[in-house]
Amino acid sequence: MKISFVIAVYHNEGALSKTHEKIQSVFTKELTEYDYEIVFVDDGSKDGSLSEMLGLKKKDPQVKVITFTRNFGQMAAMLAGFREATGDAVINISADLQDPVELIPQMVEKWRGGSEIVICHRTDRSDTLLAKLFSRLAYSVLRISLPQIPPGGFDFVLMDRKVMDSFNAVDVRHRFFQGDLLWTGYRTSLIPYVRLKRTIGRSQYNFGKKLKNFLDAILDASYLPIRFISLAGLTTSGLGLLYSISIVISWFRGETPFAGWAPIMIAILFVGGLIMVMLGVIGEYVWRINEEVRKRPNYVVRDKFL
């Protein structure tokens, strides 16, 4: 049986050889009865990542390399790798040595024991306090509508071939990996781990990319924004109705409902701001519908070295 590894690469020069070495070591020492392949996908790196990958391919025929014309994002790189992987199981793993390769035998064991998806989920991470807080807040919001997502989220995961085929059959833009994978409903096992500190290079996963991924998760894999709009609209309408009743009662009593223009201005600003937020959320959905109608691919491949 063969296990495929998909590794999205973006400015990971120096870490790729060590990642390859660690994976290869697992199969020469522990998983000796399995074959493997490693699919590197270069997401428009400007450093020496591509040269390093091609060097690894010359030494190891089990290495495949796919290159993009430009940077399309981590999700696009993962999708390209998933579609090229041919193994009986596919493992998505980071290129920066933050996912412990030592867990691979345990993942394979759970897979052979009947699990179709084996998720290594993060219980903690060796990141900055700000990154930890953002991650905790983001996943707390996501779990309101997607409670099956582990609290710390995941990227390091093993998928059975039928799971991979089902995942690849979904052809949409702005995908949320974790939500789409769990949506398939296959038998799932969890393995907790602490995400390791990056030792080579610096992370390219900046706040803008984190925010984009969070919006993809909220808008594409969650009903939360629509429910929020409905609830906010209902609450505002209810408060407006109660206030209207109080005005009518005051009018019948001959009383002035309020003094001055302050209450009117507060109501106008509050409702106006709420409407603008709602229009912004609806605009996000309209833009994504437009993206789907245009049917542009998620990525453009420059070369394949298979």
Q: How far, in Å, are 190, 255, 271 from residue 258 at the CA level?
A: 59, 9, 18
The pLDDT value recorded for residue 297 is 81
Edge-to-edge strand ranges of the sheet holding 35-42: 188-195, 117-125, 154-160, 89-92, 2-9, 35-42, 63-68, 301-305
At position 259, the amino acid (one-letter code) is A
For 259-303, write each residue's pLDDT tens digit.
655 567 667 767 776 777 777 777 777 777 767 777 778 889 999
For 181-226, write each residue's pLDDT tens digit.
988 989 999 999 887 765 555 555 555 666 666 666 666 655 667 6
Phi, psi of 118 (to 5 degrees): -120, 115
The pLDDT value recorded for residue 232 is 73
Task: Answer yes or no: CATH 1.20.140.10 is held by domain 2-209+298-305.
Answer: no
> Can you read off the two tokens belonging to residue 182?
């769990």
The pLDDT value recorded for residue 148 is 81
The pLDDT of residue 115 is above 90: yes
The pLDDT of residue 12 is above 80: yes
The pLDDT value recorded for residue 202 is 59
How far is Cα 88 from Cα 164, in angstroms, rounded to an integer?
Answer: 9
At position 136, the amino acid (one-letter code) is R
How far is Cα 119 from Cα 158, in angstroms, rounded to an integer?
Answer: 7
Strand partners, 304: 66
Between residues 140 and 37, which one has the greater pLDDT? Answer: 37
Q: Are 93 and 196 in contact (CB under 8 A)?
A: no
Q: What is the CA radius of gyration of the chain?
A: 25
- The ranges assigned to domains in the chain are 2-209+298-305, 224-294
Q: Are 186 and 116 in contact (CB under 8 A)?
A: yes
Q: Are 66 and 81 in contact (CB under 8 A)?
A: yes
How far is Cα 164 from Cα 85, in angstroms, rounded to an integer?
Answer: 9
For 154-189, write each residue's pLDDT tens digit.
889 999 999 999 999 988 877 888 888 988 989 999
The pLDDT value recorded for residue 8 is 94
Q: Full-prediction pTM beyond 0.85? A: no
For 39-85, write each residue's pLDDT tens digit.
999 999 999 999 999 999 999 999 999 999 999 988 899 999 999 99
Q: Report the pLDDT averaged over residues 82-93.
A: 96
The pLDDT value recorded for residue 25 is 93
The pLDDT value recorded for residue 209 is 60
Nearest to 188 by CA among 165, 139, 154: 154
Rounded mean pLDDT of the chain? 82
| Structure confidence at residue 16 as a pLDDT band (50, 70, 90) | very high
Strand partners, 5: 38, 91
The pLDDT value recorded for residue 106 is 95
User: Using CB atoms within 10 A of its CB, is residue 171 exposed (0-12), middle (13-18) or buried (19+)?
Assistant: exposed
- Tell me which H or E stretch contains 76: helix 74-84
How far is Cα 145 from Cα 116, in angstroms, rounded to an integer?
Answer: 23
The pLDDT value recorded for residue 176 is 82
Q: Are 196 and 97 in contact (CB under 8 A)?
A: yes
Phi, psi of 176 (to 5 degrees): -110, 110
Between residues 228 and 32, which one has the greater pLDDT? Answer: 32
Classified as helix, coil or strand, 42 is strand
DSSP letter for each residue of 213-273: HHHHHHHHH-SHHHHHHHHHHHHHHHHHHHHHHHHHHHHHHT--S-SSSHHHHHHHHHHHH
The pLDDT value recorded for residue 127 is 62
β-strand pairing of 154-160 with 89-92: antiparallel
The pLDDT of residue 257 is above 60: no
Q: Are 55 and 23 in contact (CB under 8 A)?
A: no
